[in-house]
Amino acid sequence: MIESFNITDKGYHPFLIEDGWQLARLNYMDEQHIDQITKLDVHLKTDEVFVALEGEAVLIAATIVDGEPEFELELMEHNVMYNIPKGTWHNIAMQEGSELFIAEKSNTHVSDFEFFPLSSKKQNELKQMVNTLFNSTVNQTIEQCK
């Protein structure tokens, strides 16, 4: 009667798809490293909830103004739920070993997505912003150990 799921493979894995909703696991994969992020995506029919379980991840949201993304970033805390409302451009920068839990409308991964390519300039801007957040946690850890 009790089902359990333990997904350790890299990548995005919807594991429980029910009528109207689904749960997924996103484990670090190279495409989510900040050096590999070249686009944003959007879902027009669903909000998407993210929970960081392990490692470090930065949730990236953006609005498109005059054809250019303006970023808002959040360094994710473990076991805190973050919602990306439908219609919001987003992505996730992850460090190796990171694991996330995702809840969203069923079959979002099949048909409810569009992509926005990032120019080289915007990729560099995003890298700097994400790396600043990642480095801030390293500096906080060093200070705590002193």
**Tens digit of pLDDT for each residue in 26-64?**
999 999 999 999 999 999 998 999 999 999 999 999 999
Which pTM does this prediction carry? 0.87
Amino acid 17: pLDDT: 86
Which domain CATH number covers 16?
Answer: 2.60.120.10
Give domain status of residue 6, yes or no.
no
Give domain status of residue 39, yes or no.
yes
Give domain status of residue 3, yes or no.
no
Kind plus residue range of the DSSP H or E element containing 10? none
Give domain status of residue 58, yes or no.
yes
Alpha helices, DSSP H, located in the chain: 108-111, 120-145
Give domain status of residue 125, yes or no.
yes
Give domain status of residue 4, yes or no.
no
Strands 114-117 and 39-42: antiparallel
- If one counts the domains in the chain, the total is 1
Give domain status of residue 1, yes or no.
no
Provide mean pLDDT across the span 124-138: 90
What's the CA dihedral at 100, 101, 103, 107 to 10 degrees? Answer: 80
Give domain status of residue 86, yes or no.
yes
User: Residue 139 belongs to what domain range?
Assistant: 11-145
**Tens digit of pLDDT for each residue in 65-117?**
999 999 999 999 999 999 999 999 999 999 999 999 999 998 877 788 999 99
Instruction: Name the phi and psi angles at 22, rounded to 5.
Output: -150, 155
Alpha helices, DSSP H, located in 41-119: 108-111
